[in-house]
Amino acid sequence: MTRLAPRDLWLVGPLLLIGLGGTRAAFHLQQGVTLPPDHWAYLLIGLAVLPLLLRRVSPAAMLGLSTAAVSAYLALGYPFGPILLTVPASAFLVASSWPRNRALVAEVAVVGVLAVAGVARGLLPGDRPWNPIIGMAAVWLPVVAALFAVGTATSARRESASAARSEQARRAASEERLRMAQELHDVVGHGLAVIAMQAGVALHLMDRDSEQARVSLQAIRALSRESLDGLRVELDRLRGDPGRADRRPAPGLAEMALLAERVSAGGVEVRLAVGVRADDLPPALGVIAYRVVQEALTNVLRHAQADQAVVGVERFGAELLVRVSDTGRGAATLAEGNGIRGMRERVEAMGGRFCAGPGPAGGFEVVARLPWSHA
């Protein structure tokens, strides 16, 4: 439910005080006005000003009640005075609350009603010449038009700001969905790829080497739990409960040896050459480097038909160089799938450079250059 705001009183309060206190003085300053302000005049002043409080609840009711009170006041022949301030005030409020075309139609109707009231005032008996009415119209119409234009500009600016906020919220939601998709692809996709390889190893060795088959099954169990945990974390984020995810440590260089061990156990020998200490690497770079290596090794398991992969992580000047190469099918894995696209987006989001394609000595190679200073 819409409630009155304190700033509404800042407008209505002064208008009411000026209207009640200044109408008598306006009467003494005008000639040809035979109807002095009485209790009915002050009642109409109140009925013209107080509806401005309704501008948040019902702009239509505000405009209708205020216009009716001002029209009655003018038609009865009371002196021109502060009550007329409610006309430009209501024009501004309506223009800032409604779409421009609707507000314009409403204000034209208001001007028409007030014009009829002015004609009725001019037809009253007594010394009420038309010149003061025409003079007042010439003064107040530009004022109403100016405040209507200001109100329209205010409404347009507010709508533009609202659209910008909505677009920003949509962009943030889209970026979060993309991040979640990348995280699920990296964590769950990698886990499933290794699980599939380990399951194949276990089936192959079950009859010949039951102990090695047991090792593979234990690795499958551990990876399944880890993948499920990662899935639960992302689901918690989706439900709006990031506490679990915040408590989960982000992977980095310290976990890269375990990653290489798991892939090696899946049937692809991984040689790891890390020339950077995990403690020296900014955490943000550590996460990106780990995810690039994880996804590149996942692709090796799934697509390359390789028996060996080499992972290198080195610092060259202001860049961290991450390189993963294999001895597999090379160009056959070049297709820009979700994995390569996800790696590229992660690296470029950090201001880095990414390339993937056939290696110089055959096979396939993934290279990411990440700016050290960006983190």
In the chain, the domains with their CATH numbers are: 6-128 (no CATH), 252-375 (3.30.565.10)
| pLDDT tens, position by position, 217-267 | 777 777 677 777 767 776 776 666 655 555 556 778 888 888 888 888 777
Residue located via tokens 């407008």: 11
In terms of Cα–Cα distance, which of 44, 123, 124, 130 is closest to 81? 44
For residue 126, what pLDDT band results from cuts at 50, 70 and 90?
A: low
The region, left, alpha or beta by phi > 0 then psi within -120 to 50, assigned to residue 2 is: beta
Please check the confidence at residue 375 and state whether its pLDDT lies above 70.
no
Average pLDDT over residues 321-342: 72
369: enclosing H helix or E strand: strand 364-371
Tell me, what's the pLDDT at 20? 87
| pLDDT tens, position by position, 66-118 | 888 888 888 888 888 888 888 888 888 888 887 878 888 887 888 888 777 77
| pLDDT tens, position by position, 153-182 | 777 787 787 778 878 878 876 776 777 677
Tell me, what's the pLDDT at 251? 79
Q: What is the mean pLDDT of the chain?
A: 78
Range of lowest pLDDT (26-30, 133-137, 352-356): 133-137
Average pLDDT over residues 358-373: 86
Please check the confidence at residue 32 and state whether its pLDDT lies above 60.
yes
Tell me, what's the pLDDT at 370? 92
Tell me, what's the pLDDT at 43? 92
Please check the confidence at residue 22 and state whether its pLDDT lies above 70.
yes
The 3-state secondary structure of 219-274 reads HHHHHHHHHHHHHHHHHHHHCCCCHHHHHCCCCCHHHHHHHHHHHHHCCCEEEEEE
Residue located via tokens 């409960």: 241
Q: Which residues of 1-30 are buried (b: 16+ CB within 10 A; e: fewer)?
A: eeeeeeebeebbeebbebbbeebeebbeee
Tell me, what's the pLDDT at 168? 80
For residue 321, what pLDDT band results from cuts at 50, 70 and 90?
A: very high
In terms of Cα–Cα distance, which of 80, 86, 85 is closest to 29? 80
Per the structure block, which two tokens stand in for 158? 């507010």
Contact criterion met (CB below 8 Å) for 318 and 365: no
Please check the confidence at residue 347 and state whether its pLDDT lies above 70.
yes
| pLDDT tens, position by position, 33-64 | 667 888 998 999 888 888 888 877 788 888 88
Tell me, what's the pLDDT at 332? 43
CA torsion angle for 152, 154, 157, 162 (degrees, to 10)? -100
Tell me, what's the pLDDT at 256? 87
Chain-centroid distance of CA 44 in Å reads: 46
pTM over 0.85: no
Please check the confidence at residue 125 and state whether its pLDDT lies above 60.
no
Per the structure block, which two tokens stand in for 12? 């209505």
Local structure of 147: helix, strand or coil: helix
